[in-house]
């Protein structure tokens, strides 16, 4: 599954449905299911683990209207990665993060919460 490493506390905010736009200085043509991985640094639990699955619905230039959903201010060259259908992983599992989008193995049975 395609995966994206995200620093804390933003990874947890995505998993909890508080943040629905991730921002990057680069775009992607990929659309579809994406594994949200909590980066190891800073060491905020569950660091180094997959915390959610979402649908990457769009990737476009960020506007000031995206600021509330992104939980940050618009900055130069920012792209808005629009996340929909975010499902928290009930039992986060370790994933070795990488830069940019990467492929990650997921367990055959992945328990997702339906609390959003």
- Report the alpha-carbon distance of residue 5 to residue 46 in Å, rounded: 12
Bridge partners for 53 per DSSP: 35, 87
Domains present along the chain, CATH in parentheses: 2-103 (2.30.130.30)
Residue 78 contacts residue 25 (beta carbons within 8 Å)? yes
Rounded CA Rg of the chain: 13
Q: What is the pTM of this model?
A: 0.93
**What does each of the 116 residues of the chain score in pLDDT, given as a tens digit?**
999 999 999 999 999 999 999 999 999 999 999 999 999 999 999 999 999 999 999 999 999 999 999 999 999 999 999 999 999 999 999 999 899 999 998 887 777 887 55
Coil/strand/helix, residue 82 = strand
Structure tokens at 27: 């775009």
Q: How many residues does the chain have?
A: 116
């Amino acid at each position: 599954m395609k995966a994206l490493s995200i620093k804390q506390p933003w990874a947890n905010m995505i998993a909890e449905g508080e943040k629905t736009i991730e921002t990057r200085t680069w775009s992607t043509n990929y659309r579809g299911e994406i594994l949200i991985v909590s980066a190891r640094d800073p060491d905020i639990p569950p660091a180094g683990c997959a915390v959610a699955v979402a649908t990457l619905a769009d990737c476009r230039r960020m506007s000031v209207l995206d600021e509330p959903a992104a939980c940050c201010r618009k900055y130069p060259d920012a792209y808005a990665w629009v996340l929909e259908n975010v499902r928290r992983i009930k039992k986060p599992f370790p994933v070795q993060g990488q830069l940019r989008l990467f492929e990650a193995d997921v367990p055959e049975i992945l328990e997702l919460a339906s609390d959003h």
